[in-house]
């Protein structure tokens, strides 16, 4: 129940929120309590190389599989591949509730539902029948996962600058190149790799790039290193190298030379997910701050009496409320079949910035306590700061919004 929102969410969405909340309370939070020693301690969480240690990989898998068994994991994957076919409002509502409850510390929550790039999503509607046969059952059960190799050292926002090549080799191809920032790659079983198949078309930015499904253990495919950020000793993004990796026609995903169409299939899900993550984590943080400022005293009274402490929280509460409403609205538009390109771009760009500001203010209101590992606020801030870049930077989203405005899409 949310008494601040006038839009009445459908009963089935409220039921999903309640169900997913019960799920994370049963399957995610207790795992963090039982295994907090490794899940919260970077010295134990990662190998020397910077990957998650095997028990952590197993816990991630357990959460995915428990969610699949409970009927949540694939709820927004298309029905044609065995998913629940639920819309984006359901996806948003579920993720927002997950992060609102789990906050910064209980990061296994990120595996409570299938993320489009790691598990079943519209992307898998584009694999060949043989690939479907080989991977789908394991993916739907959460036993296996994948990653999405588009970005490269020289190709980020302008993904068409990628250099990885797939050169013809008999009836198939050999892929050579490098990928960077590939999330979930250290523990994935498959990678969807984007490579140039028609250099002339690619040079003119008229297609010429195809997507391939490649097992992580394919000969010639290796994770060169784990990308580390914020001073951490490990991470979940890999730098990948392909050295003449053989792929066959059954591994082609979607149409030849039209790989970017595959990338677009996950865009809405990704942006809805990151908006939900931003709103959920902000709400979790703001609630902590509201409680703390009433208990903490300075100069003879609770710090909630000082407007210098509380007005920034009020401003962030206002912004997060707006971001929440924007997200609900964008999802409703998408679910009704409208493209909502402008509205979803606005929502993602706004919510991630609002969240980074909110969590920074929440830390400030906690004083030194706000910086401690045990509060989890810095973890949450790092997540939202990161997604100001990942999944379409704020600037690229503004570029999209401007393009829409200039095309006459000026409704607000
Ligand atoms: C945590 C994380 C996970 C990621 N996971 C994946 C993944 O799984 N798979 C994958 O393929 N990629 C992944 N990425 C890569 C991500 O897609 C890129 O980081 C993103 O597209 C931006 O590219 P870049 O970092 O190379 O920045 P650049 O493209 O080099 O941009 C640098 C700066 O210039 C700005 N800029 C660029 N062009 C313009 C323009 N036209 N107008 C205004 N400003 C502009 C950008 O906004 C940015 O501020 C991930 C990134 C992060 C941080």
Instruction: Supply the pLDDT for residue 263.
Output: 87
**What pLDDT does 202 receive?**
96
Please give the structure tokens belonging to residue 280.
Answer: 């959920």
In tens, the pLDDT along 243-297 reads 999 999 999 999 999 999 998 999 999 999 999 999 999 999 999 999 999 999 9
Instruction: Show which of 115, 133, 155 is a domain's final residue.
Output: 115
pLDDT tens, residue by residue, 162-194: 999 999 999 999 999 999 999 999 999 999 999
Query: For the residues 362-380, what does the mean pLDDT come to?
Result: 97
- Mean pLDDT, range 211-238, rounded to an integer: 97
Q: What is the pLDDT of residue 41?
A: 92
- Which residue reads 């030194």 in tokens? 368
87 and 183 fall within a common domain: no
Cα–Cα distance measured from residue 109 to residue 164, given in angstroms and rounded to the nearest whole number: 33
Identify whether the C-beta of residue 270 lies closer than 8 Å to the C-beta of residue 90: no
CATH number for 340: 1.20.140.10
Last residue of some domain: 66, 97, 115?
115
CA–CA separation, 269 and 355 (whole Å) = 19
The pLDDT, as a whole number, for residue 226 is 98
Q: Which of 96, 115, 134 is the last residue of a domain?
A: 115
pLDDT over 80 (residue 328): yes
| Model pLDDT, residue 1 | 59
> Which DSSP state fits 53?
P
Tokens of 58: 């197993």
Q: What is the mean pLDDT of the chain?
A: 97
| Predicted local confidence at residue 222, as pLDDT | 98
Spacing, Cα 140 to ligand 1 middle (Å)? 29
Residue 5 in domain = no
Residue 137 lies in a domain: no
Task: Ligand 1, residue 149: give the atom nearest the CA.
Answer: 11
In sequence order, what are the beta bridge partners of 69?
A: none
Q: Output the ligand 1 site: residues, CB below 6 A.
A: 117, 147-151, 156-157, 181-183, 237, 386, 389-390, 393, 395-396, 399
Q: State how far the Cα of 311 lies from the Cα of 171, in Å rounded to an integer.
A: 65
Which is nearest to 329 in space by CA: 318, 349, 343?
343
Joined tokens for residue 368? 């030194």
Q: What confidence score (pLDDT) does residue 182 get?
A: 98
Nearest to 104 by CA among 389, 373, 324: 373
In a domain, 411, yes or no: no
- Is 90 exceeded by the pLDDT of residue 115? yes
Measured from the Cα of 389, ligand 1's closest atom is 53
170 and 211 part of one domain: yes
Exposed / middle / buried, residue 166 (Cβ in 10 Å: 0-12, 13-18, 19+): buried
Structure confidence at residue 3 (pLDDT): 86
Structural domain that includes position 169: 146-263
Q: Which of 48, 55, 188 is nearest to 115 (CA)?
A: 188
365 and 278 co-located in one domain: yes
Tell me the two tokens of residue 396: 């690229």
Confidence of residue 24 (pLDDT cuts 50, 70, 90): very high
Q: Is residue 141 part of a domain?
A: no
Pairing of the two strands 221-227 and 237-247: antiparallel
Kindly state whether residues 369 and 257 are assigned to the same domain.
Answer: no
In the chain, the percentage of residues whose pLDDT exceeds 90 is 98
């Amino acid at each position: 129940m949310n008494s601040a929102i006038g839009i009445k969410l459908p009963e089935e969405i409220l039921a999903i929120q309640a169900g997913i909340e019960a799920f994370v309370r049963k399957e995610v939070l207790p795992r963090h309590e039982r295994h907090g020693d490794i899940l919260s301690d970077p010295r134990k969480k990662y190998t020397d190389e910077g990957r998650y240690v095997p028990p952590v990989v197993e816990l991630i898998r357990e959460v995915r599989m428990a969610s699949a068994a409970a009927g949540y994991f694939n709820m927004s994957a298309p029905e044609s591949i065995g998913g629940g076919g639920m819309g984006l409002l359901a996806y948003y509502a579920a993720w927002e509730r997950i992060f609102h409850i789990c906050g910064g510390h209980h990061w296994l929550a990120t595996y409570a539902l299938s993320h489009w790039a790691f598990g079943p999503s519209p992307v898998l509607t584009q694999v060949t029948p043989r690939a479907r046969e080989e991977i789908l059952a394991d993916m739907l059960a959460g036993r296996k996962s994948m990653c999405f190799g588009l970005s490269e050292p020289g190709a980020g926002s302008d993904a068409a600058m990628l250099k990885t090549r797939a050169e013809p080799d008999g009836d198939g191809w050999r892929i050579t190149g490098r990928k960077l920032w590939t999330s979930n790659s250290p523990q994935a079983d498959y990678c969807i790799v984007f490579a140039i198949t028609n250099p002339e078309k690619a040079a003119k930015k008229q297609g010429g790039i195809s997507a391939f499904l490649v097992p992580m253990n394919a000969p010639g495919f290796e994770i060169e290193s784990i990308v580390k950020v914020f001073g951490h000793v490990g991470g979940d993004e890999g730098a990948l190298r392909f050295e003449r990796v053989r792929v066959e026609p059954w591994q082609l995903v979607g149409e030849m030379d039209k790989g970017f169409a595959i990338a677009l299939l996950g865009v809405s899900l990704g942006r809805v997910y990151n908006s939900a993550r931003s709103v959920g984590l902000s709400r979790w943080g703001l609630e902590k701050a509201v409680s703390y400022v009433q208990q903490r005293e300075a100069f003879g009274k609770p710090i909630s009496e000082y407007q210098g402490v509380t007005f920034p929280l009020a401003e962030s509460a206002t912004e997060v409320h707006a971001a929440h409403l924007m997200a609900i609205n964008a999802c409703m538009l998408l679910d009704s079949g409208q493209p909502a390109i402008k509205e979803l771009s606005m929502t993602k760009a706004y919510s991630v910035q609002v969240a980074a500001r909110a969590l920074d203010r929440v830390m400030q209101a906690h004083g030194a306590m706000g910086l401690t590992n045990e509060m989890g606020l810095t973890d949450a801030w790092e997540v939202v700061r990161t997604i100001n870049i990942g999944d379409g930077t704020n600037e690229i989203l503004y570029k999209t919004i401007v393009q829409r405005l200039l095309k006459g899409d000026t409704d607000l």
